[in-house]
Amino acid sequence: MLTALIFDVDGTLADTESVHLEAFNHAFAQEGLGWHWDVPLYTQLLDISGGKERLLHHWRSVQPDLKEVDSGAVRDTVARLHEIKTAYYEQVVSAGALSLRPGVLALMQAAFEQGVQLAIATTTSPVNIAALLRSAIGPDWRSYFLAIGDASNAPIKKPHPQVYQKVLADMRLDPAHCVAFEDSANGLQAASAAGLATVITPTSYTAQHDFRGALRVLPDLSQLSLAQLRQWLSERQAEPGSPPQPAAKPRATARR
């Protein structure tokens, strides 16, 4: 039985990372920091879940003696950078710079029509989710989703399973009857630790990640149907040791 599809956002619903990278660099330029993240560096930084955590990690890498002084000046600077970055991202996405990845909308529509619930489980902010889905689906985008887990209500970042556990609890559904969609190894670990079979659609930023334990790894969702998902889930449930077990023990990461 297939009862719900649970989607990550960045990289999964849309290939957003290039716009996020542009937004970070915009914030650095506006604040006169002299930082610039190129694609190889940003690809490495994506191993760290959460924009604020990514900023702080980079700052500490270029200034190893960094300390919290002046009543949280470092924390305040990171928050200001992230606020500028988020505002820029929202503006660009609202202008139509991004579209959903191939097959995403068709699969969502098929699920909606067949009574399969939809949910979101992401570490990004509510503002980023709304900007993307309002542009891609329309002003009533929220009505498609039974539950939404994000940085505001599940602050412990992937690969910790908190956001998936929250969404499953909110929906009151058995993870054995749900499928998660992710694009990264951190996402796969989080979903697996919550007991979810997971379909992976990598991007250029995550193509080299380890996806062992995934239900399937696909280039995108353009050829995927609910019938195929039901078949794969049924086969997975019939395997010894099902439901799926975590690929690795999740670790708690910093709050956003």
Clarify whether 10 is annotated catalytic: yes
Determine the Cα–Cα distance for residues 6 and 141; give it in Å rounded to an integer: 15
Q: Which residue in 39, 87, 46 sits closest to 209, CA to CA?
A: 46
End-to-end CA distance of the chain: 35
Q: Which residue in 191, 168, 193 sits closest to 180, CA to CA?
A: 191
Determine the Cα–Cα distance for residues 11 and 18; give it in Å rounded to an integer: 10
Q: Which residue in 118, 129, 117, 181 sits closest to 153, CA to CA?
A: 129
Determine the Cα–Cα distance for residues 132 and 97; give it in Å rounded to an integer: 9
Render 94-146 in DSSP notation, one character per residue. HTT---PPTTHHHHHHHHHHTT-EEEEE-SS-HHHHHHHHHHHT-TTGGGG-S
Exactly one of 10, 15, 150, 183 is catalytic; name it.
Answer: 10
Is the Cβ–Cβ distance between 28 and 186 less than 8 Å? no
Determine the Cα–Cα distance for residues 120 and 122; give it in Å rounded to an integer: 6
Exactly one of 8, 15, 150, 183 is catalytic; name it.
Answer: 8
Catalytic annotation, residues: 8, 10
